Amino acid sequence: MFVKFEQWIHVFWGDFRMFADFNDLDRSIPIPLYYQLKSILLNKIKTGIYQEGQCIPTEVQLAEDLQISRSTVRQAVAELVQEGWLERKISKGTFVCRPEASTSYIRSFEPFYQQIRRLGKTPHTELLEMKVIEASGPLAEAMGLEPGSNVISMFRRRFADDDPMVTIRNHLPWATCSFVIGHDFKTESLYEIMTQNEDSRPVRTKTIVSAEKAGSSDVNLLKVKLGAPILCFQTISYNAAGQVVDFAASHYRGDFNKFEIDTQPGK
């Protein structure tokens, strides 16, 4: 999940993991044992030692053979399950599988089109709604506006190839963002357009992330099952003067998206 951590791991672990076996877990290096085990398991899958559909050793077997805790084994296996390399089957075991080709790895705060092209896919956007509304009391309060102020409401659905990935509802203050109305959001990036104007240029964002179950709208727009996991982002963007220039709510498919968060503790 964390780029700096992954890069640091690579310096120590490097190509050695390509030839590693279980008895190569090294307790003398500053690399978590779960990550060493995860890397070895993943290498066995990628090189065909563990083939698709094959059941891997149980957590109890791995823990006993390696003389490590079951929680360490469980963490390594859980991450491979989450990434789509392994699948747990009740009362049967854990089996090798392959991540769906459509699974994406999304970097937070990276433009959507850049994210998707980096993954070798073709991004495109469907503009579902674009209108000017009067801000209700709660929306006006969240955006620091007077109730009834004009706000641009924009609703989009974004794709990677033919797979719907996310729906986004943006609310932009008309006073600073009225110029965006004339742009084609099927091909243009909203934030790239907003950065061209000093008053609308986002310089700081605040994001709240939550997990929810897919509702009827998500079923229709994201092609998921009712109750499927959805990642919900509420993002508030501010300009240099501290004014809200975008109040956005996004729904991401939980089965297609992963997010990278790169932080520097203590800063």
Task: Confirm if 98 and 104 have CB atoms less than 8 A apart.
Answer: no
Contact yes or no for 264/5 (Cβ under 8 A): no
- Residue 190: the pLDDT is 87
Dist. CA 36–CA 22, nearest whole Å: 9
Contact between 75 and 53 under an 8 Å Cβ cutoff? The reply is no
The predicted pLDDT at position 106 comes to: 45
Helix axes 59-66, 70-82, angle to 10 degrees: 130
Task: Provide the b/e sequence for 131-168 (b: ≥16 CB within 10 Å).
Answer: eeeebeeebbeebebeeebebbebbbbbbbeebbbbbb
User: CATH 1.10.10.10 spans which residues of the chain?
Assistant: 3-96
What's the token pair of residue 204?
A: 């700081």
The predicted pLDDT at position 160 comes to 85
pLDDT tens-digit series, residues 27-62: 776 678 888 888 889 888 888 899 999 999 999 999
- Give the C-alpha separation, 12 to 3, whole Å: 15
Q: CATH 3.40.1410.10 region(s) of the chain?
A: 106-260
CA–CA gap between residue 248 and residue 78 (Å, rounded): 32
Pick the CATH number of 3-96 from 3.40.30.10, 3.40.50.300, 3.40.50.620, 1.10.10.10: 1.10.10.10
Residue 250 near residue 166, CB atoms below 8 Å = yes
Task: Record the pTM.
Answer: 0.57
CATH architecture of the domain with residue range 106-260? 3-Layer(aba) Sandwich (3.40)
- pLDDT tens profile 200-233: 998 888 888 888 999 999 999 999 999 998 989 9
Note the pLDDT tens digit of each residue in 175-187: 999 999 988 888 7
Average pLDDT of the residues in 105-118: 56
